[in-house]
Structure 1
């Protein structure tokens, strides 16, 4: 006899149901005994960027990562125990559909719109982790008439409050798992399938419940009003905590970490400048960029401007404008007959100049091209401080097994934050690329200078440090916090204009990659 309806249930299905009931808690128990056996939770980026199918297939059995997720798994055990036995046949296929929709949603709301429509970019659509059977249970309840299932199998005397109970289950699971994107997708999937099933049976006044076994009573046709009420209230409930936090959540501005040396700053912002054909426009661009960083100078933060061109009138104009500030302007007049003049040599000389400061050399150097001002003033600078906080915490924490030697808050060659110990390697790399008689094979593809630095920070260059787990340990922001204002005043007369490229708030080009840690903006 079935404990739910007084009708016989297939013995194999009931046995499978009883075994499946403990699945949500079983992985956590196994991981407690042997941590190496734990399974990771699912995020869309694992497959999109790493072709990793393991979490996609086995996330329902992933280990609970926190006490709240462990509570969620316990609640899932209770729900499994009370749901109809045949529910176990639906939950895993529902999980596969939910994960597929999460991947589509994550891709569309990050990589697809991150540059074309930045206002639609959503970091957590790609990065939110999820595991356990909570999402497929929610989809199952909405797909197969949650109010009727609750009335029959949970508390028979809910007295018309079945709708509130369904919403409460959806909200509680989502809150405990902190996975509104996953549960939102599960709710929409379950409701869409239920509506589709209802449309196929519109000509039938009463239709058999898809889960009812032979001989069981049929249920009334799908009530769209109840279903839509469940969906709307559930979506509102799962998003409520995050909405309230965005409206009322306030936190103190982050502090820039202290410098490890009393004689040198923690961060030097190094502005690189090269002549542009239009001196007036170039002067205005450089002044705008310098002004965006100037308010944040302190004994802990220095600002320098460097050029390797002796014929750079805009640079001289900016130096005259800011002569009463703490900005350090430097014109490098060295000649290099054995090297090709260009970006490689410019960067090599800039790195050499800042590394020769010795006692006053900063712990970190942030490379910025002269047409990339900071976005958002104080708000943008707070993001820089957050990135520096992550880098410094990793540097001074003796328990860290891997070192993060760089950050990236802009794009191209701007916003690259480099630890000073990498400067000798980067000088060597840049000089090697700049040499007329270069040791690089003529058949080798020459990388742009900014890509050489990026590869070094990512651990992709053999001369640069690499973490044991792979990559270089780069810290990025989810969105760009630097604007590109020089697209219509290029330094290269043969280069096409690109006034609308790489603006404030665009998706960071490395967003989603496994080698990076993301500071959410």
Structure 2
């Protein structure tokens, strides 16, 4: 169908470039672009998912192979009457899906399928134009040439995509219990979230929004000794005049979750020095509270939703399972 080694090389080179470019584009789109504005469209794996060799390129070539969906391999064993036939596209699909048995590569695989579909349309258009230049061939409308290729490519994608989604659901399932996380230490607090806040131009309500994004994931009355009973938030500022701090303090002082989880600490001063702010906040938390983890964040670092909060818990749990005695973690929660 491709018509020689040179055509295949050009096609494969285009697939490689297309996969790399579109993969980076999807990563930016669903993290730094749309993902920041709409937390429901934020997918950490869209940017940080590891590759698995040639898998995305094989998924792209799988869709291209659909142009010759009737091509078959014939396996003969014993005598000529004992034979088995298998479509090349079916064998290639099996080979591609084997790559998904060891880990999740959903975003790379989706990119491969998308690039393969685009490559199929482009290549079929190129072949049709070559045929139009042949005076001995009868010309056909372009849509009649492309329609069979579009249908075959869509059929292959409709078979591969559900399998990829099932694999993604399996590998991204929740595999830990909050009780297990709570048992990793005997300190009074497992988490102390230190929220640094400073006056901003225009007084945006970032502090209130960030605190809300965390509190909504925590029960108003946690049971004694549970994970959430060993969790607190310290809002710290070293600015004497801070309007949003005052508004947030007033708002959460009348809220059940705010009363239970939030402590307010304010030092006098007006110095715009972020390093000093960080050092004072860390010293405050380390000296005053018996906490396993001190989570440092700024007032515009909201957690994107319940799923992301569970991911944060999961990261801490996995870190304790794989690297006991570690000194720290960096976890992305979203932000602005």
TM-score, normalising length: structure 2: 0.67
After TM superposition, give the deviation of residue 274 of structure 1 in Å: 3.0
Which residue does 1:406 correspond to in 2? 329
Which residue does 1:129 correspond to in 2? 52
Give the Cα separation in 1 of the matches to 2:322 and 2:172. Answer: 26
Which residue does 1:31 correspond to in 2? none
More helix by share: 2
* 1:383 aligns with one of 302, 311, 319: 311
After superposition, the C-alpha distances for 1:339-364 in whole angstroms (9 at most, x for unaligned) are: x553222221111111113xx43232
Q: Does 1:238 align with 2:141?
A: no
- Kindly tell me the number of residue pairs found equivalent between the two proteins: 295
Q: Is the Cα contact below 8 Å between 1:308 and 1:346 reproduced in 2?
A: yes
After TM superposition, give the deviation of residue 139 of structure 1 in Å: 6.5
Question: SS of the residue aligned with 2:163?
Answer: helix
Which residue does 1:366 correspond to in 2? 295
Question: SS of the residue aligned with 2:236?
Answer: strand
Superposition map of 1:296-335 within 5 A: 298-312=228-242, 313-314=246-247, 316-318=249-251, 320-321=253-254, 324-333=259-268
After TM superposition, give the deviation of residue 92 of structure 1 in Å: 4.9
Which residue does 2:320 correspond to in 1? 392
After TM superposition, give the deviation of residue 407 of structure 1 in Å: 1.4
After TM superposition, give the deviation of residue 197 of structure 1 in Å: 0.8
Q: Is the Cα contact below 8 Å between 2:196 and 2:299 reproduced in 1?
A: yes
Q: Is the Cα contact below 8 Å between 1:264 and 1:300 reproduced in 2?
A: yes
Gaps of 5+ in 2: 77-84, 101-108, 138-143
Q: Is the Cα contact below 8 Å between 1:94 and 1:136 reproduced in 2?
A: no
Superposition map of 1:8-407 within 5 A: 92-111=9-28, 114-118=31-35, 123-124=45-46, 127=49, 128-131=51-54, 134=58, 138=62, 141-142=65-66, 145-147=68-70, 149-150=71-72, 154=74, 165=87, 167-178=89-100, 179-202=109-132, 204=134, 224-244=146-166, 251-252=173-174, 254-256=176-178, 257-258=181-182, 260-275=184-199, 285=209, 288=212, 291-292=215-216, 294-295=218-219, 298-312=228-242, 313-314=246-247, 316-318=249-251, 320-321=253-254, 324-333=259-268, 340-357=271-288, 360-376=289-305, 378-396=306-324, 405-407=328-330
After superposition, the C-alpha distances for 1:214-257 in whole angstroms (9 at most, x for unaligned) are: xxxxxxxx965543332111111121213456789994474342
Gaps of 5+ in 1: 1-82, 157-161, 208-221, 398-402, 411-479, 483-501, 503-521
Q: Is the Cα contact below 8 Å between 2:193 and 2:296 reproduced in 1?
A: yes
TM-score, normalising length: structure 1: 0.46
Superposition map of 1:467-478 within 5 A: none
Q: CA RMSD in A?
A: 4.5
Give the Cα separation in 1 of the matches to 2:60 and 2:304. Answer: 41
Higher relative contact order (CA 8 A, sep 6+): 2
